[in-house]
Amino acid sequence: MAKQSLKQIKTESTKKELTPREVVRELDKYIIGQDAAKKSVAIALRNRWRRQQVPDNLREEIMPNNIILIGPTGVGKTEIARRLARLSNAPFVKVEASKFTEVGYVGRDVESMIRDLAEIAVANVKTEKTSEVRDRAKILAEERVLDELIPMKLPKKVKTENPDNGEEDEMRRQTREKLRKMLQGGDLEGKTIEVQVNADTMPMMQVFGPFGSEDLGANFQDLLSNIMPKKTKTRRVPIPEALKIFEQEEAQKLIDMDGVVKEALQRVENSGIVFVDEIDKVASTGGETHGPDVSREGVQKDLLPIVEGSTVMTKYGMVKTDHILFIASGAFHTAKPSDLIPELQGRFPIRVELNSLNEEDFYKILTMPENALIKQYTALLATEGVEISFTDDAIREVAKVATEVNEQVENIGARRLHTIMTTLLEDILFDVPDTITQKQVRITREMVHEKLSKIVKDRDLSKYIL
Ligand SMILES: Nc1ncnc2c1ncn2[C@@H]1O[C@H](COP(=O)(O)OP(=O)(O)OP(=O)(O)O)[C@@H](O)[C@H]1O
Ligand SMILES: [Mg+2]
């Protein structure tokens, strides 16, 4: 019996769980190079699934392969983690370790990352469940609009005073069906009906302002909104909007929130991914006994129990962090991974270096990924009926300029491509559709040169523009 259920789980999860090679292949669609990093995140992801197949007693012993990604800015560290989470449909949060350094209430407490993760997971599961019930919610919403237009059930009083209305009932039914057809055909879009909507009590909460009302808020906001009487008010809205409001309300009623929360917490515990950026900024370099190093070490010490595995209280319930995958990242220019406190180092056994990107990489990044910048701009201009194209040597020129500016000014990796492309295309983006009316625009090497070379030569100018 137990055997069979294990087998069932296996066949079910193999369907969607990618093998390490498949993960790398998926990541390749978005990220150029960085093969070592792709490989280790792929293994870490698969190991987590493998762990779930291991018999109970051993399973709890197997720890996640937490990873430190080491590399300069803008080379794909965050992008790899983000894509990985999306691939595996895992709840994902990105936090900056340095955010926790500020002392006092402005700095966020470290556990908030787990609360955020729970929040995201609940939202994801809720969205999934909502789309599962959407068809039914639509039908129910339609019913409610029809109820407003032509009530099927007459008030009891009218019925008892006037018992013989079978004929009238039938007429009502027919009219209702006619109206339903019109509703479905969109013929009632101009009409309005009255709906009861929840009067918003939330705006008041904004008073708490910018300092971490979300921390304070986790339970507090909920509490308040539960204490306050739910006010409703009547509003007259166009029928399409009413349909939307009803659909949401009906979907809300159809999904089982307890089930959503249960599934979400289970996903957080077994497949959550926390990306801790700028971990090097909390490594202490001097070995001082006071000052900033102490506060940095403090953050590491706060991180430790969460990474090691502890239980965090969220507003949805307890979350065990033992099997959450932590991917840390940092440039480690001055500090080294060995400057982290030993316990934390031990919790991040895998270190991978990412390479800085060269001209050839930039050329590929501009063209190959599914979200490549050239593809993005082509799609943007296509909405205006303009077909933009780039000659191959124009793209090479952009890559070359990006490399030059990175060398001269500051190396910000692939982010440089964004600033260069916006500068390059600024005039076109501004002039379409008013003064550029031709259907095709071709960007050549000369145009790139003309537009960018002056700025590149002038270091001061490029500091500001590119
Ligand atoms: N190897 C790459 N392939 C494709 N796109 C990349 C690559 N590296 C960076 N990019 C693009 O550059 C941008 C910045 O990358 P990302 O956010 O991953 O940088 P990072 O390595 O996390 O830098 P930081 O240390 O500053 O956080 C993203 O828009 C990403 O799509
Ligand atoms: Mg990053």
- Is residue 347 classed exposed, middle or buried when 0-12, 13-18 and 19+ CB atoms within 10 A define those classes? buried
Judged against a pLDDT cut of 50, whether residue 294 lies above it is answered with: yes
Whether residue 118 contacts residue 159, with contact meaning beta carbons closer than 8 Å, is answered with no
Judged against a pLDDT cut of 50, whether residue 14 lies above it is answered with: no
Give the closest ligand to the alpha carbon of residue 414: 1
pLDDT value of residue 150: 78
For residue 232, the cross-strand partners are: 198
Identity of the highest mean pLDDT range in 279-283, 399-403, 436-440: 399-403
Question: Average pLDDT, whole number, for the chain?
Answer: 84
- For the CA of 80, the nearest atom of ligand 1: 18
Contacts of 374 (CB under 8 A, 6+ apart): 366, 367, 390, 395
The residue whose CA is least distant from atom 6 of ligand 1 is 76
Judged against a pLDDT cut of 70, whether residue 123 lies above it is answered with: yes
pLDDT value of residue 66: 94
DSSP 63: P
For 223-291, give the DSSP string: HHHHHS---EEEEEEEHHHHHHHHHHHHHHHHS-HHHHHHHHHHHHHHH-EEEEE-GGGGS-SS--SST
The residue whose CA is least distant from atom 13 of ligand 1 is 415
Q: What is the rounded distance in angstroms from the CA atom of residue 183 to the CA atom of residue 179?
A: 6
Pocket of ligand 1 (CB under 6 A): 31-34, 73-79, 277, 331, 365, 369, 413-415
- Tens of pLDDT, residue by residue over 44-77, are 999 988 988 999 889 888 888 899 999 999 999 9
Q: What is the rounded distance in angstroms from the CA atom of residue 466 to the CA atom of residue 459?
A: 10
pTM, 2 dp: 0.79
pLDDT value of residue 15: 46
Q: Where are the alpha helices (DSSP H) in 54-165?
A: 56-59, 77-88, 112-149, 156-161
pLDDT-above-70 percentage for the chain? 83
- Tens of pLDDT, residue by residue over 343-381, are 999 999 999 999 999 999 999 999 999 999 999 999 999
The sign of the torsion formed by the CA atoms of 199, 200, 205, 206 equals negative
Q: Tokens at residue 184, please? A: 């479905």
Q: What is the rounded distance in angstroms from the CA atom of residue 23 to the CA atom of residue 191?
A: 51
Determine the residue type at 404: E
